[in-house]
A and B are shown apart, each in its own frame.
Chain A
Amino acid sequence: MNQLLNCIGLACPIPVVKTRKALEAFTEDGELTVLADNETCVQNLTRLAGSMNLPITSEQTGEKEYTVKIAVSTEAVKKSQGTEIEVTSCDVPTRRGATVVIASNQMGNGEEALGKALMKAFIFALTNSPDVPETILFYNSGAYLTCEGSDSLEDLKNLEEAGTKIFTCGTCLNFYGLTEKLAVGSVTNMYDIVDMQQKAAKIIRP
């Protein structure tokens, strides 16, 4: 199935919307050709196709004419539509790893020395569990644990090697003046923190 979509004379974001609708209307694999009259439109269509995992090529075919070809796989289109539903539906395989949320440099409430020792032991125990967590999020005083001077650095580096993704809240690093001292994993922000927790199969909060 091949289709032509003429977007000449249409200002962004209308071509993106029309292209997305046209892609979703494909009932079998094929090619969608989009005619556009500006570079912005071509770049936006490239992003759209990228987000849906569809191969895309484009060339300038006239002074103000660009021909964009998208190879349409109905399966890929369906997948990109269903991402959100998949995550929340019950059909998702439950073998997905856990997200561990560490919001403090201590485990539980009580004496500080005990809380810190418990947290160190918890992280060490994670390295020995058969399923290492998919993600560990560190925020608030938890940020100290991923920075220079932390007793858990070696364990966290081992976890990272075993495939765990480690993220520390950037705001927290700034707040505690630790930005330059982050020693393992990468920096994240509140939107990703929300997103990762929403999409997690299971959340563990020591």
Chain B
Amino acid sequence: MIQTVDFFTPIVDDPYLFGQIAAANALSDVYAMGGTPKVALNIVGFPNCLDPQILSDILRGGADKVKEAGAVLVGGHSVQNDEPQYGLCVSGFVHPDRIWKNYGARPGDVLILTKPLGNGLINTAAKADMASKEAMDAAVLSMGSLNRIASEVLKDFEVHACTDVTGFGLIGHALEMASASQVTLKINPGAIPVLPGAAEYAQMGLVPAGAYRNREYAGSYVKAENVPDYRMDILFDPQTSGGLLASVPEDMAPDIIRRMRSGGLPTRCAVIGRVLPKMDHSILVSS
């Protein structure tokens, strides 16, 4: 059995969408371990001064996502709080022999990423009222998408290691995988799917503080060759409800990508790099 919990404050104005995003985010850990979510509990903080309809919309968004995941929402707990907070505690099942861990990546594998990067940058731009509608819509669609299809497709193949990309950014989570697997991950920045607008906002200096913290933490393990700063910002950008990062045998990758696309994965997925024997740096960013 897998148990996981996550909750946060609103990142979009629409309460229903916020509910969906918070639920997709909380369910993601189960998918990243190769499991199936079964039961969920709401965790809610809400101020008295706001219209209860807002709370009802948040919960409806969450409940719809839990239903889409095939799990059952059995209750929850709410407290009064200065700002709204919402998330879920999720339990899921996985066969003990088939748990995916964030280690086990082998030289010769390739890396698959199942959602585009950049939603932290877009959320920062949104706070500055500078995010375009196109960028915002794409970010909301991506954050609100379950990692279900990606996870289900991967289950039909051999997965050596898997994690979901969240607050530490792509590089932060890739670094965890590289260190734990005793390998070097080579990431091709040109192959990475990026949300529209994210590159522009990075160049304008709308970079979230978390991206700098991620860079500070992981920077010394990373060797980047001829990669402009704004592209590195995207790789360090903290993600809300990001995609799965999976290490799979190279010969299976084309089939996996094809199956994800034909299976209705709502976000862009791509092979974004490969696993190399351990070198001086754990992460190599180079085309």
Query: Which positions in A face B, CB cutoff 8 Å?
Result: 12-14, 16-17, 20, 38-40, 43-48, 50-51, 170-171, 173-175, 177, 179, 186-192
Contact = CB atoms under 8 A, between A and B. Distances in A.
Contacts, number: 88
B54 interface: no
A187 B287 contact: yes
Given A17-B130, A51-B204, A179-B274, 14 more contacts: A12-B124, A12-B208, A12-B209, A13-B128, A17-B129, A44-B205, A47-B203, A47-B229, A174-B257, A187-B188, A189-B194, A190-B193, A191-B194, A191-B199
Contact of A175 (B207, B230, B254): B254
A16 B270 contact: no
A14 B208 CA distance: 11
Interface residues of B, number: 34
B125 interface: yes
Interface string B128-158: 1110000000000000000000000000000
Majority secondary structure, A binding face: helix
A186 B287 contact: yes
Contacts of B128: 13-14, 16-17
B206 interface: yes
A187 B285 CA distance: 13
A51 B130 CA distance: 16
A17 B124 CA distance: 11
Nearest to A180: B274
B207 A44 contact: yes
Contact of A171 (B127, B129, B191): B191
Contacts of B233: 47
B271 interface: yes
Closest 10 CB pairs of A and B: A170-B191, A44-B205, A48-B205, A187-B190, A47-B205, A13-B128, A174-B271, A40-B209, A51-B203, A17-B128
